[in-house]
Amino acid sequence: MPVQIIYSGKAHPQDNDGKELIKSIIHFIQDHNLRNHIVFLEDYDINVARYLVQGVDVWLNTPRRPFEASGTSGMKAAVNGVINLSVLDGWWCEGYQQDTGWAIGSGEIYTNPEEQDSIESEALYNLLEKEVIPLYYKIDRVGLPREWIVKMKSSIKKIGATFNTHRMLIEYTEKFYLSATREGQNLSKDSALKAKNLVAWRKKLKERWPQIYLYVDEIVSEKDIYAGDKYPVRVKAHLDTLTPDDVTIQIYYGLLDIHDQITDGQVVDMKPVENIGDEYIYQTEISLPASGRYGFTARALPKHPDLIHPLHPFTPLIKTWE
C-alpha cells in the first residue's frame, strides 16, 4: 500500500533547528532514493498552501506539545475534506473526535523532549500502519473507500461548522465587544463616578496586596474518606486592612499526576465564617468523585462589583498558598 508524504514550509530566519531539520529531511530523501515517496516543496507561500490544503488526503501536524500556537492550516484542510492526523495541541485539542480524524498520543506533556519525540513518533507509526493506511485502501466492490469518505464528511460537517471566521466574529462580538461597550457605559455614568471609585480601589489593592497571607488549616477527617465524599478545608486569610468585600478566597483542587501536578482542576469559592482581628477564617468542602491522590491550593483574587475579571490585565494580582 503506497504512501506519499509531501513536506513544505519555511523556518524562521532565527530558527536554526528548524532549518537543520528541513536540511536533514532533504538529505534523507536523497540518500535513500525516496523521491517517489517523499517530496519537499520549496518556496512555500500562500499559493502553495492553497494547493496543499485542497489536494492531500491527510494533514499531518506534529508540534511539540504545548508549543503549537493554533494550527489554522488544519482547519482549512478539514473544510476541504482532508482528515487531520495531529498531536493534541493547539486547535486540535478541541477539534479532535474519533470520527473527525486521529490524535497522536493522549495530550501528555514530557520533561524530556527526546523522550517525547520517541514516544510520539512510535504512536504516529502505529496509527499510520494500523489505522490510517488500511482505512484509506479499504475499498468496496465499486472501488470506493466508503469508511474513509464517511470520516471525510464527518470532518467537514463538524469542524467546518465550528472552526470558522463567522463563528469567531459572533463570539468576539457577543462575549467581548458588546460587554465592553456596556461596561464602558456603566463606568461613564454620573461623571464617571464608578470609574473613579474603581481606580481608587485598584490603587488601594495594589498597595496592600503584598501584605496578604494565606494559611491552610490541616484538617484530618475522623473517618475514612471514600470516593464521593466531601473533604472540609479551612483557610486563615491575613488581609491586613482589606476585607472579604475586596478579596475572593478560592480552593483549586484535583487529582495529581505522576509529577504531582493537578489535572482537570476545579475551583470552589470559600465563605468567610469567622473574623479575628485582621484575620478571616474561610471554609468550604471539596468533592472527591473518584479514588486517587488529590492535591489542592488556596488562592486569593481581587473582588469588586465593577471589576470585569479578577485577572484583568490592569489588576494582575493573585496570591497562592501551596
Q: Tally the residues of the chain.
A: 322
Sign of CA dihedral 262, 222, 271, 203: negative
Q: Strands 271-276, 262-269: parallel, antiparallel or unpaired by DSSP?
A: unpaired
Q: 277-316 as b/e, with b when 16 or more CB fall inside 10 Å?
A: eeebbbbbebebeeeeebbbebbbbbbbeebeebeeeebe
> What DSSP string runs through 116-140?
HHHHHHHHHHHHIIIIIHHHHT---
What gap in Å lies between CA 300 and CA 305, rounded to an integer? 16
Q: How confident is the model at residue 283 (pLDDT cuts 50, 70, 90)?
A: very high
Predicted pLDDT at 322? 47
Most confident of 195-199, 204-208, 227-231: 195-199
Neighbours of 103 (CB within 10 A): 21
What is the radius of gyration, based on Cα positions, of the chain?
A: 27
pLDDT, average across residues 267-288: 91
**Average pLDDT taken over every residue of the chain:** 89
Neighbours of 169 (CB within 10 A): 11
The three cell numbers of residue 193 are 463616578
What gap in Å lies between CA 199 and CA 192, rounded to an integer? 11
Residues 137-184 have pLDDT tens digits of: 999 999 999 999 999 999 999 999 999 999 999 999 999 999 999 999
CA 283 to chain centre: 30
What gap in Å lies between CA 52 and CA 45, rounded to an integer? 11
Beta bridge partners of 286: 231
- Location of C-alpha cell 486521529: 102
Q: How confident is the model at residue 282 (pLDDT cuts 50, 70, 90)?
A: very high
Q: Could you give the percent of the chain with pLDDT greater than 70?
A: 95
Cβ atoms of 159 and 78 within 8 Å: the answer is yes
* Res. 288: pLDDT tops 80: yes
pLDDT, average across residues 102-123: 89
Domains in the chain and their CATH numbers?
Answer: 45-163 (3.40.50.2000), 200-321 (2.60.40)
Show the beta-strand stretches assigned E in the chain: 5-8, 38-41, 58-61, 83-87, 101-104, 213-217, 230-238, 247-256, 262-269, 271-276, 279-287, 294-302, 319-321
The three cell numbers of residue 181 are 461597550
Predicted pLDDT at 311? 75
